[in-house]
Amino acid sequence: MKDSIDIAIVDDEVLFRDGIAHILKEEPQFNISCVASDGQDFLQQLEAIESPDIALVDVKMTPM
């Protein structure tokens, strides 16, 4: 069993994305495995990493 929960953060708002990442990094049980600016960026990053346990995704982003 893993010691931490892998989280991906996908949001086009830099301040929100960085703020959430900063807050979650303070908790030892969370690992930020991916931070992406849009859906396409997220899909590209997923090709290089193991799938996260949780993805926090903004539903109103362009281009996806």
Question: pTM for the complete prediction?
Answer: 0.90
31: tokens are: 């690992």
Nearest CA to 37 out of 23, 17, 54 is that of 17
Q: Is the pLDDT of residue 50 over 80?
A: yes
45: tokens are: 């990053």
| Residues present in the chain in total | 64
Mean pLDDT of 12-31: 96
Mean pLDDT of 27-45: 96
Q: State residue 28's pLDDT score.
A: 95
Q: State residue 1's pLDDT score.
A: 66
* Strand, helix or coil for residue 8: strand
42: tokens are: 């997220």
Using pLDDT thresholds of 50, 70 and 90, give the confidence band for residue 61: confident
Asked whether 30 and 7 are in contact (CB, 8 A), the reply is yes
Q: Is the pLDDT of residue 2 over 80?
A: no
